Amino acid sequence: MELIPPADILLDIYRRMTAIKANDERIIATMKAGRLTMPYYSARGQECIPAAVSVLLTKEDYLVTIYRGIHDMIAKGVPTKLIWAELAGRSTGTCKGKGGPMHVTHPESGCMVTTGVVGAGLPIGCGLALAAQVRGEKRVTVTNFGDGASNIGAFHESLNLASVWKLPVIFMCQNNRYAEHTSYAKGTSIESIAERAKSYSMPGVRVDGNDPVALYHVARAAIERARAGQGPTLIEAMTFRFNGHLLGDMGDYIPKAEYQAALAADPYPRYRQWLVQEKHAAPVALDAIDAEVNEELEAAVKFAFDSPLTDPVEITRDIYAAASA
């Protein structure tokens, strides 16, 4: 058994997982009520991954994520009220309502780019890491993507470039077993994406993405390696998404037994149960965290819908630098 991280870390992970889950459920409910209109790629079921990784990062560390990335944003510390305002198309949103769920950006939290193009975040992650390397900084870049992205050229070019330049980047593959509607086996030529790291002379680690403790240790090794200037690591965190590719997707392409088994292994209640059973936290302490998360969520939703809608004049802004606009 791996060393268990200290209780404050375990609770911090729990807090982040709770925030991800609570926000996800509220987003879906708000969409169903017709108050939010947007394409939504829920990450429910994948909350362990960013929660366990982000407790190892600071605001100075860079994060890149994808259209299924609000869980990554919340874990990294983007204020949820700014995310909600963005989804609601308000002028107070992270991107003034001009980015939306697929492009949430918040450099103050280190969240530099969210891309809607599969694989495109990997080269950009290399560039963020390159900037840190050229300047002699210790910060690392974590670039997130799904299993489907490991089949696009940008993945391979990025791993190669990061390896030859020894860039301080962690390639975090959140393998949820489906690339849109195509199963892993139908679209991927290799048993494990982590094995692809061998071709690029870097460590490749497959880990249970629903086990926060295992993830914590794997991510810590990769982050320490990057901070020490030893180069990149590819992590493949095995997980599952409970709400299909895009909200509204009926999931007909997922065998029922597979889906039921995944639901039964829901990492969120499992982690909570483990914390209590192993006496890392009293239920009352976890309840207190739940209450705090819900309070923040209520405030975030209120902030968003109380904020003014973004004025259409914004279409003419932020295209070029102001001086030359």
Partner 1 sequence: MNAEQNAEQKINTIQAINWALDDALAKHSNVILFGEEVADPEGGGVLKATQGLSSKYGANRVRSTPISEMGFVGAAVGAAIAGMRPVAEIMLMNFVAVCMDQITNHAAKLRFMSGGQTHVPLVLRTMTGTGFQQGGQHSDFLEAWFCHTPGIKVVMPSNPADAYGLMLGAIEDDDPVLYVEHLASYWNPGAAPKRGQAIALGKARIARPGKDVTLIGYSRSMLDIPVVAETLAKDGIDCEIIDLRTVSPLDMETILNSVKKTRRAVVVHEAVRSFGVGAEVSARIHEALFRELKAPVQRVASKDSPVPFAKQLEAAFIYSHADIEQAVRHTMA
Q: Which residues bind partner 1 (CB under 8 A)?
A: 62, 64, 93-99, 103, 105-107, 112-113, 115-117, 120, 122-134, 141, 153-154, 157-158, 160-161, 164-165, 314, 317-321, 323-324
Pick the closer one to partner 1 by CB: 2 or 318.
318
> Coil, strand, or helix at residue 325?
coil
Residue with tokens 């290399």: 126
In the complex, the smallest distance separating the C-beta of residue 323 from partner 1, rounded to whole angstroms, is: 8
Q: How far apart are CA 68 and CA 51, in angstroms?
A: 15
Pick the closer one to partner 1 by CB: 51 or 87.
87
Pick the closer one to partner 1 by CB: 69 or 127.
127
Pick the closer one to partner 1 by CB: 49 or 95.
95
Pick the closer one to partner 1 by CB: 64 or 172.
64
In the complex, the smallest distance separating the C-beta of residue 97 from partner 1, rounded to whole angstroms, is: 8
- Judging by DSSP bridges, how do beta strands 178-179 and 182-183 pair with one another? antiparallel
In the complex, the smallest distance separating the C-beta of residue 165 from partner 1, rounded to whole angstroms, is: 7
Residue with tokens 């407790």: 55
CB 269 within 8 A of CB 214: no
The dihedral built from the CA positions of residue 107, 152, 67 and 53, taken in this order, carries a sign that is negative
In the complex, the smallest distance separating the C-beta of residue 86 from partner 1, rounded to whole angstroms, is: 8
Pick the closer one to partner 1 by CB: 116 or 251.
116
In the complex, the smallest distance separating the C-beta of residue 272 from partner 1, rounded to whole angstroms, is: 35
Buried b / exposed e along 102-114 (16+ C-beta atoms within 10 A):
bbbbbeebbbbbb
Q: Which amino acid is at 176?
A: N
In the complex, the smallest distance separating the C-beta of residue 314 from partner 1, rounded to whole angstroms, is: 8
DSSP string, 147-168: GGGGGSHHHHHHHHHHHHTT--
For the chain, list the strands marked E by DSSP.
Answer: 62-66, 111-115, 141-146, 169-175, 178-179, 182-183, 204-208, 233-238
